[in-house]
Chain A
Amino acid sequence: MSASIARQRAAAGRNRPWCDDEALLGRMLLAPAVIYITALVGFPFFLAIFYSLSDATVGSTTLHFVGLRNYEGILQDPTFWRSLQNAIVFTLISQALVVVLGKILAMALYGDFRGKWLVRLLILLPWVAPMSLGSIGWLWIFDPVYSIINWSARALHIFGPEIWPVWLGQPDLAMASVILVDVWRLLPLATVIILAGLSAIPQDIHDAAQVDGAGFWRHLFMINIPLVMPIMLVALLFGIVFTFTDMIVIFVLTRGGPFDTTQVIASYSFFTGVQGGDLAAGAAISLFLFPVLAAVAVVFLTLARRAEVA
């Protein structure tokens, strides 16, 4: 009897339509993501390695193997070292600001107040707007002739008649400006991620702390931050990856200037490889992003996992 049922079930399995096969359907639904990652991340990555070992230019279709010659050239190039240093400084400062400000904003938005949805909407806007458009807006805000910051500061007598900062024309101010725009762009994402973490803390923990008489700072450092830490590290990881690989802000605002003082690895790779035509050197420069990002990802995911377990 049972053998007959088993035979019936096996026959039913064979005749079962493909869309009812959980295993097959699972693979099929996963396939677009796998194809997407292979085509848009994996293939370009290996292509970049291939190009970096060749003499590829934008005008050539035949390549010759040149070994590590492109890497040797890059390591002797002072602009490359400047770009690497800038990328690290740019990322560290902007992410430190994003995490601190994101935490403050998330805590402010966690409480109940009138018009909360509107504030949340406004905070999310920079993330929703296309980055290139946002950067062009900032380009006008920093314009040497028409800067609204300078105009307002002068109207409010904050700047005297002799003070007119050229935001994108002085190295320190230019770096501060690109960091400011990056923070403006990434703050909403970090805020939303941290806010989700805060909302996930069970209410009884807050109640117990209150009963025990924990003040604001103790509550913050002993409860909120430790419990939100895993998710904050994920937000930080996203922020580091986005900032370290970004070139839109630099491209629109400074094009690496003044005189390469805001050049970062991603922009220098583009200017060398596409604008300058030296595809091989551009690819080699871009590959320096990989070990840094891989190391950061491993460290942060390990920390996040440990924090979660703890």
Chain B
Amino acid sequence: MSDGIKSVLTPAESQEETQQIHGVSRRQFVHAAGAAGLAASVGPFILPRSARAAGKTLKILQWAHFVPAYDKWFDNEYTRRWGEKNDTQVIVDHVGIPAINSRAAAEVSAQKGHDLFMFLWPAPTYETQVIDHSEIYQECERKHGKAIDLAVKSTYNPKTRKYFGFSDSFVPDPVNYRIDLWGEAGMEKGPASWDDVLKVGRKIKDKRNIPVGIGLSAELDTAMAMRTSLYAFGGSVQDQQGRVTLDSKRTLEAVKFVQALRKETMTPEVLAWDASSNNRALLAGKLSLCLNAISTTRAAENEKLPIADQLGLTKALRGPVRAIGLEHVMDCYVIWNFAENKEGAKKFLVDYIDDFLDGFKASQYYNFPCFPKTVPDLPKMLAADPHMPRGKYSVRGDVLNWATNVGYPGYANAAVDEIFNTWVINTMFAKAASGAMSPEAAIKEADTKCKAIFAKWQAKKLV
């Protein structure tokens, strides 16, 4: 009998009998593993989502602010309050600066992501992926008066007549300098011109071995600082009509000046910097001057560093043609075409501008308003800042007289954006300043790249 049964068993079944002696059979194992896999993959779709809140959701992505107190206020106070008032669950995600572009690309590729996405610079490359933000500007202008020119030039495309973003605020980029060192060299109020930086910076470096620190690397602060010097010397990447004008005598003067500045006042470390290197070096007492927002002075004050009282601020440096500075950071919110809560995102931005005074205070005067009437007492508030030396923040009171946008004297367009993000201008200055290329050759190379980039975006009819 037993033999008869065995004769119809397959070899696998015979083996299974043996295996069962030791515990779980292969059949049981495969069934169990299959069931577990199925449960893991299907479970999340059929199980009830208890965490889901009632009402709407608004998802915001923005950078991890250089002033951490701002994020604390924005995440834990402001958005919570706004959410309760508007029956909306507000989710705020933060990313570091280097991840902003890759995150945006991923969201567009997936056609899914946040309702509000904040860039730290104009993002016209994404123009076809975002709604026209003119409605938000109109509503805010109705309530608070005209937006500053800097905001418009950073978020409007005159070619397509579309607002491809909405700018709530910007951050001025003053000169940060050591009062003790510059005072010792006879310039206690800091440099007023690029020429002062070269002459006095050299004197300080020779005497105290403390260099000037203006980045020449592939990073945000360098991008701003190099454009500042370019514009001050009369050069520019494009003209008002959006034609490439980089290869000019003015650019050559600027590049030659930066070459001298690097050689006589700086060390090669500026070629390796990231966006926070100048902050660290200034706070460590290793720099006599850098171009930066007030995150450095605020960090020194908040951490009660002895150097805090020795850090002074001054306005944009005068070049042979003009005294001009760039914004350090330009907050540009966009609402994607695929955002799930467009109306909520629009309302949030309008309400945020209504409450901008709170944001200005929470950022410790870092974020400046794009609608100036929202902070009517701005100069007074800056003058009343209690930190030493008293009144140092006042130099930023007339920032709109000396700050301009990326793409000056034209608008920030898609070609300017790509040139900015691929560090073409940074590399041009760095190659010449390090002696790897002659200034003329470095400019020619960058000009060729700029023209190719402009031609590409012109073909797409966005420039």
Residues on A lying within 8 angstroms of B by beta carbon are 5, 8-9, 12-13, 16-17, 19-20, 22, 25, 55, 57-61, 73, 77-78, 142, 144-146, 166-171, 174, 254-261, 271-272, 274-279
Contacts and interface: CB of A to CB of B under 8 A. Distances in A.
Contacts of A9: 8, 10
A166 B268 contact: yes
A166 B272 contact: yes
A168 B26 contact: no
Contact of A168 (B16, B102, B272, B434): B272
B430 A259 contact: yes
B269 A169 contact: yes
B452 A73 contact: yes
Nearest to A16: B10
The SS class assigned to the A binding surface is loop
A67 to B, nearest CB: 14
Contacts of B108: 58-59, 61
A275 B421 contact: yes
B280 interface: yes
A17 B8 contact: no
B430 A277 contact: no
B418 A257 contact: no
A170 B102 contact: no
Contacts of A277: 101, 105, 125, 414, 417-418, 421
10 contacts: A9-B8, A13-B10, A58-B105, A59-B414, A144-B267, A170-B268, A258-B216, A258-B217, A271-B423, A275-B421
A19 B26 contact: yes
Given A257-B430, A259-B271, A278 B445 contact: no
Nearest to B277: A144
B387 to A, nearest CB: 24
Nearest to B124: A59
B104 interface: yes
A36 to B, nearest CB: 14
Contact of A167 (B127, B218, B272, B431): B272
B126 to A, nearest CB: 4
Contacts of A260: 427
A260 B436 CA distance: 11
Contact of B30 (A19, A146, A169): A19
Contact of B102 (A55, A254, A275): A275
Question: What 8 pairs across the A-B complex have the smallest Cβ distances?
Answer: A144-B269, A169-B272, A168-B272, A258-B271, A276-B422, A19-B30, A259-B430, A59-B126
Interface in B418-463: 418, 421-423, 427, 430-431, 434, 436, 445, 449, 452, 456, 459-460
A276 B421 contact: yes
User: Chain B, interface size: which category?
Assistant: 35 or more
A78 B422 contact: no
Given A8-B7, A255-B217, A61 B271 contact: no
B418 A278 contact: yes
B27 A256 contact: no
B17 to A, nearest CB: 12
B56 interface: no
A57 B125 contact: yes
B159 to A, nearest CB: 15
Given A55-B460, A275-B101, A166 B10 contact: no
Contacts of B436: 171, 259, 261
A171 B272 CA distance: 10
A145 B284 contact: yes
Contacts of A174: 272
Given A169-B269, A275-B421, 20 more contacts: A8-B7, A13-B10, A17-B27, A58-B109, A59-B126, A60-B128, A61-B108, A61-B128, A61-B129, A144-B269, A145-B280, A146-B280, A166-B269, A169-B272, A169-B273, A255-B218, A258-B216, A258-B268, A259-B431, A274-B101
A77 B451 CA distance: 13
Residue among A78, A144, A256 with most chain B CB within 10 A:
A144
Nearest to B338: A61
